[in-house]
Structure 1
C-alpha cells in the first residue's frame, strides 16, 4: 500500500499512560500523511474520502520499539545460555562478531536478521552492529529495505578485546568518522548511533573522541551499563576516578535524552539520579538478564521516578526477537524481584509492560508508540482467532493474552511504520 493516509477499522488498544490503556471495540484509527489523527468510535465525514481498511474483528495495537538488540549475535541465538555474561562474551559473542570482517558471511547473516525483524512485532529498533565499517553499512542497507525505522551503530572497541576484534584508539575514531561520512544522506529510515560497546572495552581517550563526534554531529548514543556485578567491579578498576559506572560515560557528556543504556540492573542511588536527571533511556532486557544470570533491574523504581524506560530483546542474550515474550518476561521477573529481593517494589502489570514496549521505548524516536493525535502511525493488525477460548473477552483481555500466547495461534496480519505498510510476504 503506497498511500500514507487511510482509516483502519478494528478493535483498537493503546497506552494512555504506563498504567492505563484506551480500548475501542469496532473503532476507527485515522492516519493522515503518516501521523495519527486519533481513534474514534464513529468516523467523521471529514475522513470519508480516505482509503478505508476494514480489519474485521482483529486487534490493532501500536508497533513495538526494541531499543537494544545485537544484529551480529542473531546467528547464534539460543546457544550458550548456561553461561554468565563475561564467559558468554568470550566463548560465543566475540568469536561470532569477528566473522563480520568477511562481507560474504555478513551478507548471509544480516539477510536473515533483517528478514526476521521485518516479520516480527518490531517497527523500530536501536541496533548494535560490529566494529567493521563495511559490514555495518551492509546491515544499514538491509534494514533500510525492510521499511522499518532503525538506529544502527558501528561498535567501538580499543581495549580488553580479542586480537581480531580490537581497534587502535585513533583508528577507531577515524573509522567512525569515515562510516558517518559514507552513510550521510544515504537513507530515509535508517540512522547512525554512536556505539562504544561498554566501558571495559573503550578507553577514556576513545570515549573523549566519540563524545566530540556526538557533539559535532548531534548523534544519539547506545551502550551498556551496570549489567553484571563482575563488570561493575572491572569498571571501578579501569576508571578509579569515576564515582559510579554511569559517571564513566557522563564524564564525557555521553548521557542524555538521546542515549540508550541497556540493563541498569545494579545502578546505585547516585547512578539512578544521574540517569533520571540527564533523561537517559534505560533499555530493560529481562530475558537476557535472566539467561545470563545478571539479575533483575528495578523497573518499578525507575517508572516511579518518571525515568525514560523501554524494552530490549538483547539478542542473543535474549533468545529471540519477540517483543511479546519480552513483555511477558518483564512481568515475570518483576514478580521474582518483588518476592525474593525487595517487597517494597510491586511487580509490573501487563499494562505497564505493554506501555514499555510501545510508548515507553517508542518515545526515543519522537512521538511514537501511541495512537494519540500527532504520533507517527506505527501499527500492528493482529489476528488472534487461532488462540481459542470459550469465553467472551474484552479488547484488553484479548491483547493481554496475546502477550503470552502470540506463538500459540497469533498472527501479524498487517504492519505499518510511519503510515507506510510493511511487506510481510
Structure 2
C-alpha cells in the first residue's frame, strides 16, 4: 500500500452504470457499503469496500478519517452553469429574453474588469465546493479575461472544469459583443493556453443562435473542426419566444436545431442546454449525433420557460445531463436541483427514482461531458473527487434518516430535504477542498 494512502470511513454509494428511469435498479448498476472504507492514494481511488473486510488489513498508523451518519458519494458534476451570473440569481419577475436584457447583460458587462472577474471566480468556485460540486461545464462572458480568471482559479484548486469564452456578436450591448474574427482569434488563444492543461478543458461557447451571426457560427464550427474532440456548449429551445426569434433570424433553416447542425455544431460532446420545446424528430437527430441535452429544472420553472420531458428524451436515446443553470437557476446545489428535477417529472405524470437522480448528477453527467474515464464514480483508478453528505445535517433529516428502511429512502431523503448544509466535506483529487464547520450542525435552538 503506497505510503501516502489515506482511508475514509462512512457509508459509500456510487453508480457504475445507468440504473434506468423506472423501477428499482439492477444490483450491478451501483455499489453500496453501509459501513465502508474508501482508500485514496496519489489523488486517485485505490480501493473501496466494506469496513469489516478492509479494517483488518490496513497498515498500522494509516490515516483514517471516520464520518459517522454520513454518506460518501462521487463529487457532483454540473453540466451547465454561468459563473458571471452568480449575482443575478434570485432576480425577480422576468422571462428569458427580458431577464437577459434587464439583469444578465448588465451584470456580465462588469467582467471586462480582470480584477472583478478574478474575485468573482474565487467566490464562484468556493460556492461550488461548498455545495459538493467538483466538476462543471461553465459559461464565461464574451471577455477573454473572464475565461482567464476562471481557468486560473480552477487550476489553483486542481478542479476538473470545462469552460469557454462566450461568442456573441449581435443583439447585446456593445460592451458584450465581439466580432466573428475577434471571437475566433480569442477562442484559439484560450484553447492553446488552457485546453488540456492540468484538469482543464476548453469548450467552444456560442451563447445561442440569436446572438451570433451566421459568420460567427460558421467560424465556431471551424474551431471544432480544427480542434477535434473539443466540447461545445450553447442553448437550444429554452422558451417559445426565443425559438420564434431565432427562426426569424435564420429563415432558411427548418428548425432551431438545424441552425446549429448547418454550421457543424451538432456532434459528439455538444451540450445543448434546456431543449424544452423540441419534437421527436429533433430528439432523434440529437441522439443520432451523440450530443447531450442539459436538463435545467430550476431555471426552466423560475423563468417560466416550460417543463423538460426527461422520459421522452431518454426514450429517444438522448444522453441527458443535469444542470443548475445559475443564475437563471435558483440554487448552486445539485441536491436541490435533483429535487426540482423530481418535481418536473411529477408534473409530466412520471417519476424520477433517486438512483437515476444521483446517476444524472455524477456518472451520467461525466459520460455526457466526456469525462467518465476521469470522474463520475469511485471505481479504483478514478480521480478521487468525492463529497461527504451528512445524513443528520438538520433535525428533520436526522429524523427521516432514523425511519429509512432502504438505500432508496436514504438517497431520497437527501434529495428532497438536503442542500448545502448536508455537505460535510468536499475532496478534490484526494485533497480537502471544503470542510463544513462542525459547529454549524443543527445551529440554533428554539427560544
Output the TM-score relative to the length of structure 1: 0.90
Alpha-carbon distance, 1:38 to partner:
5.5
Match of 1:316 among 309, 327, 332: 327
In 1, the alpha carbon distance for the partners of 2:176 and 2:48 equals: 49
Alpha-carbon distance, 1:184 to partner:
5.4
In 1, the alpha carbon distance for the partners of 2:326 and 2:422 equals: 22
Equivalent position of 2:37 in the other structure: 28
Equivalent position of 1:48 in the other structure: 58
Alpha-carbon distance, 1:395 to partner:
4.0
Alpha-carbon distance, 1:362 to partner:
1.8
Per-residue CA deviations over 1:107-132 (Å, capped at 9, x if unaligned) read 33223212212222111000000010
Q: Which sits farther off after the overlay, 311-320 or 381-390?
A: 381-390
Per-residue CA deviations over 1:283-340 (Å, capped at 9, x if unaligned) read 10000000111001111122223321111100010122010110000000111122xx
In 1, the alpha carbon distance for the partners of 2:5 and 2:255 equals: 48
Equivalent position of 2:94 in the other structure: 83
Aligned residues, how many?
Answer: 414
In 2, the alpha carbon distance for the partners of 1:40 and 1:335 equals: 35
Q: Which sits farther off after the overlay, 196-205 or 372-381?
A: 372-381
Q: For structure 2, which runs of at least 5 residues remain unmatched after alignment?
A: 437-447
Alpha-carbon distance, 1:172 to partner:
1.7
Equivalent position of 2:198 in the other structure: 188
Q: 3-state SS of the aligned residue for 1:253?
A: coil
Q: Which sits farther off after the overlay, 303-312 or 217-226?
A: 303-312
1:370 to 2:382 alignment: no
1:203 to 2:209 alignment: no
In 2, the alpha carbon distance for the partners of 1:198 and 1:348 equals: 29
Match of 2:409 among 384, 394, 397: 397
Q: 3-state SS of the aligned residue for 1:413?
A: strand
1:99 to 2:106 alignment: no
1:139 to 2:140 alignment: no
Structure 1's 45 and 99: CA in aligned 2 closer, same or farther, altered over 3 A? Answer: closer
Superposed CA RMSD: 2.4
Structure 1's 269 and 176: CA in aligned 2 closer, same or farther, altered over 3 A? Answer: same
Alpha-carbon distance, 1:4 to partner:
7.3
Q: How does 1:203-282 map to 2 (within 5 A)?
A: 203-218=213-228, 219-282=230-293
In 1, the alpha carbon distance for the partners of 2:291 and 2:302 equals: 25
Q: 3-state SS of the aligned residue for 2:362?
A: helix
Structure 1's 301 and 56: CA in aligned 2 closer, same or farther, altered over 3 A? Answer: same
Q: Which sits farther off after the overlay, 238-247 or 38-47?
A: 38-47
Match of 2:178 among 167, 192, 206: 167
Structure 1's 154 and 24: CA in aligned 2 closer, same or farther, altered over 3 A? Answer: same
Alpha-carbon distance, 1:382 to partner:
1.7
Alpha-carbon distance, 1:385 to partner:
2.2
Equivalent position of 1:342 in the other structure: none
In 1, the alpha carbon distance for the partners of 2:81 and 2:292 equals: 14
In 2, the alpha carbon distance for the partners of 1:422 and 1:405 equals: 24
Q: 3-state SS of the aligned residue for 2:198?
A: coil
- Decide whether the 8 Å contact of 2:284 with 2:317 is kept in 1: no
Q: For structure 1, which runs of at least 5 residues remain unmatched after alignment?
A: 339-345
- Decide whether the 8 Å contact of 1:67 with 1:126 is kept in 2: yes
Equivalent position of 2:444 in the other structure: none
- Decide whether the 8 Å contact of 2:132 with 2:425 is kept in 1: no
